Chains A and B, each alone.
Chain A
Amino acid sequence: MTLDSIFLSCLYLAALGYFLCILIPRGKQAVAETVFIAAFSFHTVSLVSRGWMAGLFTPGAMLQEMFFLPWCMAFLLLVLRLGKNPADMVFRGAAPLCLFTVFALFYPKVPAHYLMTRTIFSQMFFLAEVMAHALFLLGGWFALLSLAGKSDEKTCHSLVVWGFVSYSAAQVFGAYWSYLGWGNLFSWTGRHLTSAAIWCFYAAYIHLRFLTWWNPSRRSVFAVAGAAVFFLMHYLSYFSEMSFRSLGL
């Protein structure tokens, strides 16, 4: 079995496992947990084998957002579960996770050239940025659930706050990577400005707690809007590269 086929088959198995977690009835939480952990293990193997796909270990391939984002979401759901949050609430987060894993299946699997990501700052940037994106997305999802009365606002707020800290760290690593390569800490390009826009949006969110008009449900609406901002301004650009042909390698 080649590394390419290990990567692909494990990714499909992970997607299947996450999908099953949504279908398992609420009373069978132990089964849902077992399936979720199995799916997460397959996902981890898939990512590690992706890192070796080029013939030598390239962390940049492993940290590529399309494949790393669903892994981060699964990791965060596990952390939430370990934090004694109710299983049925945590596994409701499997719905967006499943969706983003399916998006990864439609994305071209060939890793990008590693020249651009050869410095450790680029790897630290992707690690922090993609983790922040996962936190923002899950924060938005749990905010939506809290509006429907199926989660508490505190979970959403904690996710978004940690997303903001991680995103801020990503900006430092990214700025230094950009400086090492292109001599600029900040460039007037779409990529840099998009990051700045998302950062400002969530900086505004952080301050809402101190404004009395913004009660928990209004803050939840704002967190949902934040996830939508991320999706429209950043993630949507990947859709132009997705195709049915990419379902294989």
Chain B
Amino acid sequence: MLRKLLRFCGDLRLSFWLLMAIFFCIVAGVLHIGASPDIFRSLKYSLMSQWLQANLAKNFSAAWWIPPLLSALFLFGLNISACAADRILSLLRQWRTVPAGLFFLKLAPSLMHVCFIVMLTGHFMSLCGGSGKVIAVKPGEAVALGRSQMKIVGRICEYCGLDGPMKDGVEQCTVVLEFSGGTGVQEESISFFEPIVRDGASIHLLPDSKLKKTSLPPELKLLVKRDEGKAFIVAGFIMMILLMLWYFPQLKKIEREE
């Protein structure tokens, strides 16, 4: 009975049509985001559930594609879980009779599916439990950060001195931050694309290529971000690619031999 249910839920034709449904929902999303970017800007740093509560009814004509997309993703998650479980159960019966290399080759697609489920779980955690707060960089400003406090001490920007299209464009900016809390006072620097992690939150200096050398100091922004899902997404994706890099050449080798 369980196997029958797994086979029904994990049917490959269902996977294909769910993938196509996800594709069409995303295409609709791309068109709507392109047409009304202001509606979706706030989605960047807010929880999906809160955003939907505030915006779905108000902007239904632009945001209608999100609930079907999330539903299709959820069903796809169930579909590939069932597909992977069914396949792994079948393969486990063969593991003593089949050579180890061939067994792992047969198992690899299911492991890729498991990695994909890990990634989907990570995205789900980010959508439901992540948070982000943007702060303008003003020396002297203090922000509470979990059990410690973060104070902006100062900042410095370097500009491109070369003649040409990049002349006077910002090359790198550094903001000095002071953290005070249980372990005393500590100073740390943060730059574009060089975030730091403190009290479970990652702190990023948001890059802006339009910044130019002027008499006024540039307007810089910091992002304090908590995202429980990111480790799952990165780990799942890396494992999946490693498996792909091993699996497809092996498959090709077998095809050639045949």
Chain A residues with a Cβ under 8 A of chain B: 53-56, 110-116, 118-119, 158, 161-162, 164-165, 168-169, 171-172, 175-177, 179-190, 193-194, 196-197, 200-201, 203-204, 207-208, 210-211, 233
CA distance A53 to B244 in the complex (A): 37
CA of A114 to CA of B172 in the docked complex: distance in angstroms? 10
The answer to whether B169 and A115 touch across the interface, beta carbons within 8 angstroms, is yes
Evaluate contact between B223 and A182: CB separation under 8 angstroms.
Answer: yes
Contact status B33-A165, CB under 8 Å: no
B26 touches A115 (CB 8 A): no
Q: Which residues of A contact B169 (CB under 8 A)?
A: 113, 115
B15 close to chain A: CB less than 8 A: yes
Asked whether, in the complex, the Cβ of A54 is within 8 Å of the Cβ of B23, the reply is no
Contacts of A115 in B (CB 8 A): 169-172, 192, 207, 209
Closest CB in chain A relative to B161 CB, distance in Å: 9
B window 30-87: CB within 8 A of A: 30, 33-34, 37, 40, 43-44
* Pairwise interchain contact B30-A113, C-beta atoms closer than 8 A: no
Contact at A187–B44, with CB atoms within 8 Å?
yes
Knowing A169-B241, A186-B126, A190-B30 are in contact, say whether A208-B162 is a contact too (CB < 8 A): no
Interface on chain B toward A: helix, strand, loop, or mixed SS?
helix
Query: Which of A56, A158, A169, A207 contacts B252, CB < 8 Å?
Result: A158
| Bound complex: CA A238 to CA B169 (Å) | 24
| A110 touching B22, Cβ below 8 Å | no
Q: B23–A197 contact, CB under 8 A?
A: yes
Question: Which B residues lie within 8 Å of A210 (CB)?
Answer: 12
A-B contact pairs, 12 of them (CB 8 A): A54-B162, A115-B171, A115-B209, A118-B192, A165-B245, A183-B132, A184-B227, A186-B123, A188-B33, A190-B30, A197-B26, A207-B15
Known: A118-B192, A165-B244, A172-B234. A194 touches B30 (CB 8 A): yes
Contact of A55 among B164, B230, B244 (CB under 8 A): B164
List, in ascending order, chain B residues with CB within 8 A of A207's CB.
Answer: 12, 15-16, 19
**Chain A residues with CB below 8 A from B245, complex form:** 165
B172 to chain A, nearest CB (A): 8
Known: A204-B16, A210-B12, A211-B16. A181 touches B193 (CB 8 A): yes
A56 to B160 alpha-carbon distance, docked (Å): 11
- In the complex, the answer to whether A119 meets B126 with C-beta atoms within 8 Å is no
Closest-by-CB residue of B relative to A189 is B33
CB < 8 Å neighbour of B163 from A55, A180, A184: A55
Which residues of B are found within 8 Å of A113, using beta-carbon distances? 165-166, 169, 209
Q: B104 at the A/B interface (Cβ < 8 Å)?
A: no
B257 within 8 A of partner (CB): no
| Complex: A185 Cα to B125 Cα, angstroms | 12
Q: Which residues of A contact B248 (CB under 8 A)?
A: 161-162, 165
Q: Is the interface of A mostly helix, strand, loop or mixed?
A: helix
Cα–Cα, bound, A177→B26 (Å)? 22
Q: Does B20 contact A (CB under 8 A)?
A: yes
Q: Which residue of chain A has its CB nearest to the CB of B20?
A: A204
Report Cα–Cα, A112/B160, bound state, in Å.
13
Which chain A residue lies CB-closest to B51? A188
Asked if B7 CB lies within 8 Å of chain A CBs, one says: no
Q: Which residues of B contact A110 (CB under 8 A)?
A: 165
Within the assembled complex, what's the spacing in Å between the Cα atoms of A55 and B229?
Answer: 41
A233 touching B206 in the complex, CB below 8 Å, given contacts A54-B165, A115-B170, A184-B44: no
Q: From residue A59, how far is it (CB to closest CB) to chain B in Å?
A: 14
In whole angstroms, how far apart are the Cα atoms of A218 and B234 in the complex?
A: 34
Return the chain A residue nearest B233 by Cβ: A185
B240's nearest neighbour on chain A, judged by CB, is A168
Complex-state Cα separation, A208 to B19, whole angstroms: 12
A172 near B30: Cβ-Cβ < 8 Å: no
Q: How far is the CA of A164 from the CA of B244 in the complex (A)?
A: 9
CA distance A116 to B193 in the complex (A): 9
A161–B172 Cα distance when bound, in Å, is: 39
B147 within 8 A of A: no
- Please report the C-alpha to C-alpha distance between residue A186 and residue B26 in the assembled complex, in whole angstroms: 14
Q: Which of A161, A183, A197 contacts B27 (CB 8 A)?
A: A197
- Beyond A168-B240, A193-B26, 13 additional contacts (C-beta under 8 Å) are A54-B162, A55-B162, A55-B166, A115-B170, A116-B207, A118-B192, A119-B193, A181-B207, A185-B227, A187-B44, A201-B23, A203-B19, A211-B13
Question: CB distance B44 to A197 under 8 Å?
Answer: no
- The docked-state distance in angstroms from the alpha carbon of A203 to that of B16 is 9
**A39 to B200 Cα, complex, angstroms:** 53
Residue in chain A with minimal CB distance to B236: A172
Q: Which chain B residues lie closer than 8 Å to A54 at the CB level?
A: 162, 164-166
